[in-house]
């Protein structure tokens, strides 16, 4: 993007899985510090939390939870596979052209 000076980062979204081990609030704080030091200090930081996705090995049921109660809702089993919610990833970047951005001001 640095080779296109008319484009500007407007917002970025980071996904924090419940099982990623990251604390969404401190991550948001850290991301804001990074953004403020970057070439686009006005960019908006959005943090989206993602529930844990699980699959029961006993009955095959797939489900999600945002708590640490991982038992299968169908059979109550604990033999479950974590299929999602472990990630910490950059989900999207919103880039705008400065021409458009200045039109509205």
Closer CB to Zn ion, 67 or 104, in the complex: 67
6 and 95 Cβ atoms separated by less than 8 Å:
no
Choice between 1 and 75, CB closer to Zn ion: 75
Q: Which residues pair with 83 in a beta bridge?
A: none
Residues 11/43, Cβ–Cβ less than 8 Å = yes
- Interatomic CA distance for residues 105 and 101, integer angstroms: 7
Window of 12-20, 23-31, 43-51, 77-85 that interacts with Zn ion by CB under 5 A? 77-85
Are 87 and 50 in contact by the 8 Å Cβ rule? The answer is yes
In whole angstroms, give the CA distance from residue 68 to residue 2: 43
Report if residue 98 touches Zn ion, rule: CB under 5 A.
Answer: no
Query: Binding Zn ion by CB under 5 A: which of 77, 95, 96, 101?
Result: 77
Beta carbons within 10 angstroms of residue 50's beta carbon: 20
Q: Which one of 64, 74, 87, 98 is in contact with Zn ion (CB under 5 A)?
A: 74
Q: Which is nearer to Zn ion, 57 or 89 (CB)?
A: 57
How near is the Cβ of 81 to Zn ion at its closest, in Å? 11
The residues that touch Zn ion, with contacts defined as CB under 5 A, are 56, 58-59, 61, 72, 74-75, 77
């Amino acid at each position: 993007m640095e080779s296109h000076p008319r484009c500007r980062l407007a917002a970025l979204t980071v996904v924090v899985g419940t099982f990623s081990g990251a604390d969404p609030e401190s991550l948001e704080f850290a991301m804001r510090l990074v953004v403020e030091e970057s070439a686009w200090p006005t960019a908006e930081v959005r943090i989206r939390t993602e529930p844990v996705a699980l699959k029961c090995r006993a009955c095959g049921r797939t489900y999600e939870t945002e708590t640490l109660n991982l038992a299968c809702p169908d059979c109550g089993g604990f033999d479950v596979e974590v299929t999602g919610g472990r990630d910490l990833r950059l989900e999207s970047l919103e880039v705008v052209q400065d021409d458009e951005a200045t039109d509205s001001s």
